[in-house]
Structure 1
Amino acid sequence: MTKSLWRELFIPLFVIFAVSIILHWWLGWDGFFINLSTEVIGIVVTIGYVDYILKKYEKKEWQIPHSRVIKRLQYFVNRSINDCLYSLQYSYDFSEWVKTIRDFSGFSQDDFSTKFHSELLSVVKIKLKKDAVVTISNFDNEKWEHFVKHIESIHDSAEAFLLSFGDKLTPEQYTLVLDIQDTAESVLIMRETIYKNILSPLKVAAETPENIEIVKVMTRHYDEDIVSRLSTLTEMLEKLFKIAA
């Protein structure tokens, strides 16, 4: 029950109830005041019950169906899978996807999307194992900006999803989305602190072959670290994908 309901209705009724009891003790009046106090109790109970029912109904009316939340979760996962691929400079080769698309042509839109993004998830995992380190090692500033844009997209989408639907998720779902956001943020922090503020200046300052080699080793280490974090992120997306499918 709201504070305003207590203040504007229940407190005055309680005062009437208390006064009625006192007057009954003092005056009697054939039980008039005791009957009045009983009526007040009935009114309070009735109003409280009606208030409870109305609030329960209102909450039910505004409650988002679980299926709608799962659908939004699917959108988040699918978009994040695409962002992972695009961050690594992946481009669709239609000739490679013709058979897959043909095989899925009889599916409904939702089933097609699920099957298609399942295939994309496999592509991400293969790329991360196969040549992601080499891809990142060849990034210039423009490609780094492209990479950051897509990782930021994953981070921001996770944050927006949690703000909108966090209270509708199971603990497992909530934790996975939060872990995905945290992992994306850790990658962004690495890019900002390690690459821009440390490795880039070192590359410029490294004049001797020995120092150049040290910078190369350091860069390789952090390239592998980023790929490892992206692999972890992909594993979490895969878990969430299976939950939402």
Structure 2
Amino acid sequence: MTSNYASPRELRLAARAGRFNEPTSGHAPGFLQANLMIVPQAHAFDFLLFCQRNPKPCPLIEVMSPGAREPRCARGADIATDVPGYRIYRNGELADERDDVGDLWQGDFVSFLIGCSFSFEDAVVQAGVPLRHVEQGCNVAMYRTNIACESAGPFHGEMVVSMRPIKSRDVAKVVEISGRFDVAHGAPVHIGNPGAIGIADLAHPDYGDAVRVEDDEVPIFWACGVTPQWVAQKSRLPLCITHAPGKMFVTDVKG
């Protein structure tokens, strides 16, 4: 794994130059990281309504003007080049994955920056609670669930969650810490039995990398900003662009 970037700007410039294309967990500690959803303006109001109706998986950091590529939360950045990985969906199918979408840019694109649970991880680690995916330098495990989101226009589907195994003695501490970060999904949506939220096998995540859960650990599940990707697939949206799972836009906003 590349040595950690402490500066959001340095990480963004490395992504823009093609030098960094890894998950952003563990990088730029203390700064808000964001999931990205880009839709044509014709679908922007419905997606904004979807986010407002589903604030746990979709806590909004910023909604950009049509065609804009420089976010207010990261001046000098370019939303089309400064994410370590992008996914392009057409009619609900993954059509392409790339590290730059500048040549696909349209003047009617509206970009949504949505809070990410990576933003509270530094506070958890600083409190003395290790996170296995950070230690192993891999992506967090993410799963589709049976938790229905509230629909808006064409947007409908189930919540995606991220999972972190936490020692039993630290569960209350981690719940309290993450609960301070409303813009980063806040407190967990489920603790313990994955089957209760429709997850059949923790060893086979739908996104990201599997991590082991030890005997003295409890799987804890947070709402995840990959939810819009799954919703866009289920909704058969003609076109949308998202971040690749785990590869966030890192803002200049302190968490």
Report the TM-score range of the alignment, normalised by the length of the smaller protein.
under 0.3
Indicate the structure (1 or 2) with the bigger Cα radius of gyration: 1
**TM-score, normalised on structure 2?**
0.21
Q: Which one scores higher on RCO, CA 8 angstroms, separation ≥ 6?
A: 2
**TM-score, normalised on structure 1?**
0.21
More strand by percentage: 2
More helix by percentage: 1
